[in-house]
Amino acid sequence: MEKIIEEKNQGTALTLEKDQKNTRNLYIESYGCQMNFSDSEIVASILAQEGFNTTNSLEEADLVLVNTCSIREKAEQTVRKRLEKFNAVKKTRPHIRVGVLGCMAERLKSKLLEEERIVDMVVGPDAYKDLPNLIREIDEGRNAVNVILSKDETYGDVAPVRLNSNGVTAFVSITRGCDNMCTFCVVPFTRGRERSRDPQSIVHEVNELWEKGYREVTLLGQNVDSYLWYGGGLKKDFDAASAIQKATAVNFSNLLALVAEAQPRMRIRFSTSNPQDMTLDVIETMARFKNICNYIHLPVQSGSDRILKAMNRLHTREEYFELINNIRKIIPDCAISQDIITGFPTETEEDHQDTLSLMEYVKYDFGFMFAYSERPGTLAARKLMDNIPEEAKKRRLSEVIDLQLKHSLQRTKEHLGKIEEVLIEGTSKKSELQWMGRNSQNTVVVFPKENYAVGEFVMVRIEDCTSATLMGKAVGYSENN
Ligand code: SAH
Ligand code: F3S
């Protein structure tokens, strides 16, 4: 099932067209979350100014950058294997330089250079503007490190180049960092404190994307509902802002409305929502604008109040149900997806049953499910024993996945017979003769190409489905086209 990702963490080499002026080749591989893929586009944009073209051939590379993920141990192991491979390539092509970006860079810092000696450069997620200097250092034969986290860096002034783009959908980052301190999560340590990007620069980027032919944007942040612009600076310093700054502050529902109004035909999505920060205004704004998609990724992690508390998720099971009820009342056809962790320290069979019963209540459209992986330095690692045996974690995980598969199939079946708007993203992976796109609810829809084209909004009659994909036939253009 395509949409259920269990410990799936493939690296992707990202490229774009060559600029003839540039003389060196950058091979950049990204792992982990959408934010990392979006950051790689910022990095490629900064390095294009420094004379680098992107390439997807390791053989052509002068500089290899790996944008890394630390969220689970397995993600780090995957990256380490890749670094070994790059080091092997270096033996035959000694001029190649290798750099680590992203969360592993921030977490392990100069350890990667000094103890492990597997890279030439280590650059944390807030230091990409320093890359030109750092590359000069490595060109002169020295190692280079910058892992300083920032109070205000949002890269709002860097126009990202679009790597491996389908020309139709794009990510736009709106916040960086996270202040939530979920006890299992390494992100607050690797990406620093939360800050929001200037709404004007967000709207400007969305306008430019529309001009270039893009038809869907996903506003990205670790916790988008916590977006708050009051002229720059950290979210946690908002209380000390001036009266004027407070009065003119822009929150997430204001931002959604700004973007939706600026480009009324652009589809708008966002990810990720933390239940404790999602307000009714956001749901009402979604309902008010036709171009904001009816889909919310709403990670719950566990259905047990005791475990939620131990995770420092600041809502109860009841409050989560209340939020789900409000979403269903205000946007009846809204799709909802989850993240769930099984085997968090001290999780009992009863807690696990609570997770399954919560899933039964919500009947998520799809989900991303993981076995707990202890991350060094997190509160859970410091205070709690990782005491659930691996077999129990895995067994609970497969029970959660099986139930999700059942619910996903129930949900996709609800689309049968309906005529739904689909934005065409490209050719279906399974057949050259079929288009692949998504409906508002973010479910993949495939249908015969006929004379339709990539980037068009098409009305499709849904005729068949699996638990992850809808199959249908186009019946004409959407009025949005
Ligand atoms: N707010 C973030 C969440 C980042 S992590 C976002 O924008 O996506 C994505 C998911 O990974 C989390 O929701 C959680 O379900 C899972 N996760 C995070 N830390 C984990 C850990 N230590 N072990 C297992 N899963 C974890
Ligand atoms: Fe991690 Fe919780 Fe933030 S999962 S990214 S600390 S909302």
Query: What letter would DSSP give residue 478?
Result: -
Mutation pick for ligand 1 pocket among 311, 339, 366, 394 (CB with most ligand atoms within 8 Å): 339
- β-pairing verdict for 12-14 and 24-30: antiparallel
| Residue appearing with tokens 């916790």 | 223
Last residue of a domain, one of 385, 413, 441: 413
184 close to ligand 1 (CB < 6 Angstrom): yes
DSSP strand pairing (195-196 vs 175-176) = antiparallel
**Boundary-marking domain end, from 368, 383, 413:** 413
Q: Are residues 176 and 284 in the same domain?
A: yes
Q: Is 171 in the pocket of ligand 1 (CB under 6 A)?
A: no
Look up the CATH number of the domain holding residue 457: 2.40.50.140
Alpha-carbon distance of 227 to 148, in angstroms, equals 22
Q: In this model, does residue 2 exceed pLDDT 70?
A: no
Could you give the 3-state DSSP secondary structure of residue 75? Answer: helix
Q: Ligand 1 centroid to 182 CA: how many Å? A: 9
Q: Say if 2 falls within a structural domain.
A: no
390 and 462 assigned to the same domain? no
Asked whether 72 lines ligand 1 (CB < 6 A), one says yes
Report how far ligand 1's centroid is from the alpha carbon of 177 (Å): 13
- How many independent structural domains does the chain possess? 3
Q: What is the pLDDT of residues 308-337, one digit of tens each?
A: 999 999 999 999 999 999 999 999 999 999
Q: In this structure, what are the phi and psi dihedrals at residue 88, rounded to the nearest 5 degrees?
A: -65, -40
SS3 per residue for 217-252: EEEECCCHHHCEECCCCEHHHHHHCCHHHHHCCEEH
pLDDT of amino acid 113:
84
- Res 444 pLDDT > 50: yes
The domain of 397 spans 169-413
Give 391-430 pLDDT, tens digit per residue.
Answer: 999 999 999 999 999 999 999 999 999 999 999 999 999 9
The pLDDT value recorded for residue 405 is 98
Q: Are residues 225 and 321 in the same domain?
A: yes
Do residues 220 and 313 both lie within one domain? yes
Rounded Cα distance between 61 and 93, Å, is: 9
What CA–CA distances, in Å, run from 94 to 27, 59, 89, 121, 265? 15, 12, 8, 15, 50
| One domain, residues 433 and 318 | no
- Give a yes or no: residue 159 inside a domain: no
- 142 and 173 inside one domain: no
Question: Looking at the domain assignment, is residue 253 inside a domain?
Answer: yes
Name the average pLDDT for the chain.
94
Task: Please answer whether residues 243 and 196 qualify as being in contact, where contact means their C-beta atoms are separated by less than 8 angstroms.
Answer: no
User: What is the C-alpha to C-alpha distance for residues 144 and 131, in angstroms, rounded to an integer?
Assistant: 9
Percent of the chain's residues with pLDDT above 70: 96
Report if residue 334 sits inside a domain. yes
Q: How confident is the model at residue 17 (pLDDT cuts 50, 70, 90)?
A: low
Q: Report how far ligand 1's centroid is from the alpha carbon of 72 (Å).
A: 8
Same domain for 211 and 85? no
Q: What is the pLDDT of residue 18?
A: 64
* Per-residue pLDDT tens digits for 195-228: 999 999 999 999 999 999 999 999 999 999 999 9
Check whether residue 262 and residue 365 sit in a common domain.
Answer: yes
Instruction: Spell out the residues 6+ positions from residue 302 whose beta carbon is closer than 8 angstroms to its own.
Output: 308, 311, 313, 340, 341, 344, 347, 351, 354, 355
> Residue 177 domain-assigned?
yes
Q: Within a domain: residue 327? A: yes
Probe ligand 2: pick from 178, 298, 378, max atoms within 8 Å of CB?
178
Mean pLDDT of 109-130: 89
Distance between CA atoms of 42 and 47, rounded to whole angstroms? 9
At residue 196, φ and ψ (nearest 5 deg) are -110, 155
Q: Tell whether 211 and 258 lie within a shared domain.
A: yes
In a domain, 1, yes or no: no
What's the pTM value of the predicted model, to 2 decimals?
Answer: 0.93
In the listed set 131, 146, 161, which residue is the last one of a domain according to the structure?
146
In this predicted model, what pLDDT tens digit does every residue of 19-43 receive, in sequence order?
667 789 999 999 999 999 999 999 9
Let me know whether 114 and 263 are in one domain: no
Return phi, psi of residue 342, to 5°: -105, 145
Same-domain pairing of 87 and 125? yes
Question: What are the phi and psi torsion angles at 32 (to 5°)?
Answer: 90, -140
Q: Is residue 4 part of a domain?
A: no
Average pLDDT over residues 159-181: 94
Q: Which residues line ligand 2 (CB under 6 A)?
A: 178, 180-182, 185, 187-188, 222-223, 274
CATH value at residue 28: 3.40.50.2300
Backbone angles phi, psi at 46, to 5 degrees: -65, -40
Atom number, ligand 1, closest to the C-alpha of residue 339: 15
Task: Name the pLDDT band for 123 (thresholds 50, 70, 90).
Answer: very high
Q: Are residues 435 and 401 in the same domain?
A: no
